[in-house]
Structure 1
Amino acid sequence: MSTSGPRPPMSKAEYVYSVLLDEIRTSRIPGGTALRAGEVARRLGVSVTPVREALRRLEKDRLISYEAHHGATVVDLGEEAVAEYYGLRAVVEGLGARLAAARITAADLAWLRELHAAMADDAARGRHDRLGEQSRRFHLRIVDIGGPAFLGGHARSVRDNFPVPAEASLWLDGAQVEIQLKAHEGILAALESGDADTAERIMIDHIRQAGAYRARH
């Protein structure tokens, strides 16, 4: 018999934080936008207190900043931040792929292969809008396999702290889709053969290529 009880309900502050985090990550609230506690409270149907608590958490996440006479503003990340973001992702996710090559199980590989096949099918049917989130799951699963104690959490933190607008996804560019899927296939082949060097190299090149694409667009 399971001893785990029901999950506690989400607090109002946690609710506000989760909503704002998602809106910032997806750029529905773009960089440079002022966040006024009263307006957010009215929109989300809560008091100002949980909004202020959520804003403090977002400030710790470095997603918003406070300026005199302006209040809370969503951080507008420039070219240097883009380069740092993809460089950090390459290091963390590259290491995750290296470690995963020695730890991956047949079940793990089957899960990744199934996801990859679904992505290839969506690409063939022109459903490119699904690919960005699927790719996120693909990458994070590999990092979780390689570094379940620390790396998975670090990889999510890096991604969550840098909003990438959905419309900026390279997966929406038909010319890029085949290139990205080929990289995923190469990573899978390296993981299956236990080739840590190749898995890491392909993952790093894959992420750097995505960064170069983002910088151009």
Structure 2
Amino acid sequence: MSATEPRPPMSKADYVYSVLLDDIRHARIPGGTALRAGEVAKRLGVSVTPVREALRRLEKDRLISYEAHHGATVVDLGEEALAEYYGLRAVVEGLGARLAAARITPAELAELRELHAAMAADATAGRHDRLGDQSARFHLRIVDIGGPAFLGAHARAVRTSIPVPAEASLWLDASRVREQLDAHEAVLAALESGDADAAERVMIDHIRRAGASRAHG
């Protein structure tokens, strides 16, 4: 499809799925909440059929589960799931950084440095609410550079596999922002020097520290 061709309208099932997914990710629907198809349909102004399709997709994403006599329930992810999430991120994004060190171009490095500079400026100005999304872009761009075929898709799949509310972002904690920006700077230095070992090591340590902070925060 070309850029000038009209995009097909979002189906009702896609609409329901996108709304519920966003609600779960941002903890507007917390873990343990029962999702009743009729109530969701009424709230979103659709029939039950697209709601059921959306719920099946969320089940496939492992964000909801079905239990006898209870129906669909949002998965309540505990400490073990959180540890697994950050462990997977460390492996995938660490590999992305390793591969990126061997192939990053000056233009790509400049793009990452521009994003890093924007984050530093926002941090200085106290605009911490912007940093979480910018950090995700920074990490995923590195993975895309390192593994353009499919590693980036894997990194995104891991990130969407667990609902981490935006308000739980460590970037909102002013006492931790400098440490995380320093880690990003260290990753950039390793990428610029082509040091694959250092790029992977720093990225893994950065993500593991974030996971430890979340677990004890």
Q: TM-score, normalised by structure 2?
A: 0.96
Return the alpha-carbon distance in structure 2 between the equivalents of residues 132 and 160 of structure 1. 14
Deviation at 1:4, TM superposition (A): 6.5
Distance (Å, rounded) in 1 between the aligned partners of 2:193 and 2:86:
27
**How far apart, CA to CA, are the structure 1 residues paired with 2:4 and 2:88?**
37
Residue number in structure 2 paired with 1:13: 13
Checking the alignment, whether the CA contact within 8 Å between 1:129 and 1:171 is kept in structure 2 is: yes
Are residue 91 (structure 1) and residue 106 (structure 2) matched?
no
Q: Distance in 2 between matches of 1:3 and 1:124?
A: 38
**1:145-184 equivalence runs, <5 A:** 145-184=145-184
Supply the AA of the counterpart residue of 2:98. Answer: R
> Does residue 189 of structure 1 match 2:204?
no
1:113 and 2:113 matched: yes
Larger deviation: 159-168 or 51-60?
159-168
Q: Return 161-170 or 65-74, whichever deviates more.
A: 161-170
CA distance in 1, matches of 2:141, 2:23: 24
1:131-142 aligned within 5 A: 131-142=131-142
Find the counterpart in structure 2 of residue 41 from structure 1: 41
Secondary structure in 2 matching 1:73: strand
SS at match of 2:154: helix
Identity of aligned residues (%): 83
Task: Give TM-score scaled by structure 1 length.
Answer: 0.96
Q: Are 1:63 and 1:75, in contact at CA under 8 Å, matched by a contact in 2? A: yes
- Paired with 1:88 and 1:209, the residues of 2 have a C-alpha distance of 13
What corresponds to 1:206 in structure 2? 206
**Other structure's SS at 1:158 match:** helix
Structure 1 moving runs of 4+ over 4 Å? none
Change (3 A) 1:67 1:188: same
The AA in structure 1 aligned to 2:211 is G
Aligned partner letter, 2:209: Q
- Describe the SS at the equivalent of 2:73: strand
**Contact 1:25/1:161 (8 A) holds in 2:** no
Distance in 2, matches of 1:201 and 1:157, equals 22
State the 1:168 CA deviation.
Answer: 1.5
* C-alpha distance in 1 between matches for 2:45 and 2:141: 36
Pairwise CA RMSD of aligned residues?
Answer: 1.2
Cα distance, 1:167 vs. partner? Answer: 2.1
Q: How many residue pairs end up in the alignment?
A: 216
Moved more, 46-55 or 19-28: 19-28
Alpha-carbon separation, structure 2, partners of 1:54 and 1:122: 37
